[in-house]
Amino acid sequence: MQLAGDNRRPNKVTRFKTIDPNSAAALASDDPMPEYMNVLGMIFSMCGLMMRMKWCAWAALLCSCVSFANTRSIDDTKQIVSSFMLSISAVVMSYLQNPAPIVPPWASLL
């Protein structure tokens, strides 16, 4: 019993199928943001450590937190923890070398 204005097509209906998280289809539709943030955090950590740039160290800590928050439970935790510890060490070392606060670039204009 189909109404005249009914736009539903029963031959186009497909059943919902759950996806196994370890299958190839689930891994192909993976979100790459945690990996990008992890690499970005490593780059900012190295810039913060080598060039003594405090804002890079803080950006590395922010990127590491975003990467940690967006990872799945099946990802490699050693790499995430090492990135997080590297960013923390960049912040600590940048303030041990120069304990003065970060001076914004627009502060010299005033």
Report the 10 Å Cβ neighbour count for 54.
18
- Show the CA angle centred on residue 52, arms to residues 48 and 55, nearest 5°: 55
Task: Give the model confidence (pLDDT) of 7-24 as tens digits.
Answer: 788 888 888 888 776 665
61/51 Cα distance (integer angstroms) = 16
pLDDT for 96 equals 94
* Residue 38 DSSP code: H
Q: Is the pTM of this model over 0.85?
A: no
